[in-house]
Structure 1
Amino acid sequence: MKETLQHVEQMVDEHPRIDVTETFQEWQRLLSGLKSRIESRFELTRDPSTADLDSYGTGDSGPSGSLAAYTGPEIDWLVHSWIGDPATGFVNLHLTAWLGPQVRVPHLGSALLLWPEGWFYVDGVPRGDLVGDGDYFDAYYTEADEPWLTFKQDHPDFTWFTSRTGFIRASLSPTAYCYSFPPTRPNLDTVAELLTAKVEQWLGWVETAEVVPEGERAGLAARDLRVRRNIAERDPANVMAERMFGPDLTQRLVRALWGGDRVLPRPEGSA
């Protein structure tokens, strides 16, 4: 099995700069469509703390970005964002949805990256101990095991990405998809199909989920926030934001990813 062990900045620095605007725009449409699908199920309100991040940077020429975060009765924190400079071959897009404590369904995590090769990640972020709670594992990960193995066998163009940061490796479930790949038409279609299927699967989980007892919700919400904050703050790819925008704006963006400056309250039962 092929494997990538480089840091993101190494991958960027070791490849020629080319314009990836066309693929970037395609991925913008993909994630916007998936966000709309999620919005059709959940009540969402834009948190005012990200209003001025709707567009930042230099616009059409140079590093730019956009970050919008939403919350609602059943969604703790949903982030739809991108950052980069497509004209020079680097852009990173995110769509992540962190559920409230009313259910234990895994959170939805997804990201797309051009450097200028392609990279993608999609996972159901666990809400507890997968080894200690076998029933939870079986409910959300056992069924995904065989398709995950089949993908590795059937898609030789995709190279498994191993983060050089142990904490990030620990944040992945056993059935996470995390691959780099040549951004050819067939591969782009494969990624789009997989992300769409994962969003539909996640929405299905929500519809059939058991309700968490009220007495357990505050503890679950507290854990969710710790996990979200740790992942945002420890992401080694934050160095790319610092390169483009400096430490102050980068810290603001990281806080926005986990809700550090949020204005609207968390879902009922979170406190």
Structure 2
Amino acid sequence: MAVTKMLLLSMGVATAFLAAPHLPPATTQLRATSLSEAEVKKLLSGSEFAMDISSITAGSEKETYIGQGSGVNEGAGLGGLIPWLKKSVGKVLAWKNRPVYDKLWRVIEEDVLATCDERFGLVAAPTWFDNQTKPYEFSSEDGKCTGTVAAYRGGNIDWITTCKFFSSALGFGNMRIDGWLDRSTRAPHMAVHLCIVFNVLFIYINLVPRTNLVLDDDYNDYVYGDPKKSAGDRSLNDIQNECIDDKAFKPYFSKSHVVKAFMNAPTTLLYTVGYSNKNFAKVRQIAMDYVRVWLDMAQENEGVLVKNIDSRDVQTELLQTDVRIRQFCGRDPDTKNVANILGLDTTDKLVRTLWGDPNDPIWASR
């Protein structure tokens, strides 16, 4: 989508109680694993595991919805307006959308991140900007687009990042939280990306599978099809079907084959939703339902998600799958739109922070 629709979606001031500016460097991802460091290096030596930031290169494709709505891409949305009109419309949208942006950020920070902290006791981790364990603030050259990015870890959450920014010139805001688990479980990864463009919420909410669902019926059934107490005895499939039946939720269909390839979870939520208090409340509830289900699965010590977890085959699959999943935002076409606003250097460091810890051998060697 957006993971897609989101390198856009990012950046976030982290909670003060998580800021902990002088924590020691985070440890590596090599926790519960039967693979040696030498094996890890060999398994990730192929060109397909090299750092891929192809979407910010000249001539790469651009995604449509966010770029057009924010005026980044030419020829549609704000981008199609003449300069003086675009400036005027942008000011109105900035005035109108900033309060919504702040409300969305409270969902990311005070709901999702705080719930993860309560469950796992998160500690601050370094970003790729300054290797400091505190949120990093960034801005566009003209100062009209500002944001923050922060990273944490705790328990078997190997890496969790928050990221947000708001353009006062164009009047749109994006934010995200992404949670990557270590290899002590096959539980899915987590992504909650929220955006306000015009008077419309753009959402991407997903629990990203870490296996081939075509070959693994038990995983598919358990993660996406079985009812979960933390979601009110509903399955993720039930929640998605509720969105399908709600006329306020308009499915978003990416035109990018790169984005489509990443939308492989059967219960991916990728929608535009007209902003209202009712719709906002539903989006918030859905985000928390998905996150609570994710946290419960992350803590399971028996069953489908930890079966044969220490075997070399499972560890190899998780290692290689995780690296490719976490690298996706480098190929997300909307990353090009971010680069157009923030510049290549800032965008590169943002992408790498979303990927992983600069002190982790797995990511430092990419």
TM-score normalised by L of structure 1: 0.87
SS for the counterpart of 2:350 is helix
Query: Structure 1 residue 176 and structure 2 residue 258: aligned?
Result: no
Q: 1:232 aligns with which of 329, 337, 350?
A: 329
Q: Does 1:126 align with 2:126?
A: no
Residues 198, 87 of structure 1: alpha-carbon distance in 2 compared, 3 angstrom cutoff: farther
CA deviation digits over 1:35-85, x for unaligned, max 9? Answer: 011011224332223464621116996101111122345122111110231
> Does 1:136 pair with 2:219?
yes
Match of 1:246 in 2: 343
Paired letter, 1:48: P
Name the CA shift for 1:58/1:246 in 2 (closer, same or farther; >3 Å).
Answer: closer
In the TM superposition, what is the alpha-carbon distance from 1:222 to its structure 2 partner?
A: 2.9
Distance 1:121 1:166, change over 3 A: same
Partner of 1:269: none
Change (3 A) 1:50 1:248: closer
Pairing partner for 2:353 from 239, 250, 256 = 256
The question of 1:160 aligning with 2:251 is answered yes
Q: Percent identity?
A: 26
Q: 1:139 to 1:251 in 2, by over 3 A?
A: same
**C-alpha distance in structure 2 between counterparts of 1:141 and 1:92, whole Å:** 27
Change (3 A) 1:38 1:73: closer
**8 Å contact kept, 2:174–2:196:** yes
Q: 2:291 aligns with which of 196, 199, 202?
A: 199
Which of the numbers 173, 176, 186 marks the counterpart of 1:91?
A: 173
Shift of 1:148: 1.4
Q: Output one character per residue of 1:73-105: Cα deviation in whole Å (capped at 9) or x when no partner.
A: 512211111023156321110111000010111
8 Å Cα contact 2:116/2:122 also seen in 1 = no
- Could you say what secondary structure the match of 2:344 adopts? helix
Between the aligned partners of 1:62 and 1:97, the Cα distance in structure 2 is 29
RMSD: 2.3
Aligned twin of 1:208: 300
Rounded to whole Å, the distance in 1 between the matches of 2:240 and 2:144 is 38
C-alpha distance 26-158 of structure 1, shift in aligned 2 (>3 A): same
* 1:21 equivalent in alignment to 2:103: no
User: Are 2:115 and 1:115 aligned?
Assistant: no
> In terms of mean alpha carbon deviation, does 185-194 or 243-252 score higher?
243-252
Whole-angstrom distance in 1 between the partners of 2:186 and 2:168: 37
Judging changes above 3 Å, is the alpha-carbon distance between structure 1 residues 86 and 30 closer, same or farther for their aligned structure 2 residues? farther
Does the 8 Å contact 2:121/2:154 carry over to 1? yes
Residue pair 1:85, 1:91 contacting (<8 A) in 2 also? yes
- Going from structure 1 to structure 2, the CA distance change for 1:180 and 1:196 (only over 3 Å counts) comes to same
Higher RCO, 1 vs 2 (CA within 8 Å, ≥6 residues apart): 2
Q: Which has the higher strand share?
A: 1
Instruction: Check conservation: 1:63, 1:84, Cα contact below 8 A.
Output: yes
Q: Greater CA radius of gyration, 1 or 2?
A: 2
* 1:150 alignment partner in structure 2: 242
Q: Deviations over 1:152-186 (max 9, x none)?
A: 11x21221111111221221211111111211111
SS in 2 for 1:255: helix
CA distance 1:209–1:150, shift in 2 (3 Å):
farther
C-alpha distance in 1 between matches for 2:336 and 2:140: 19
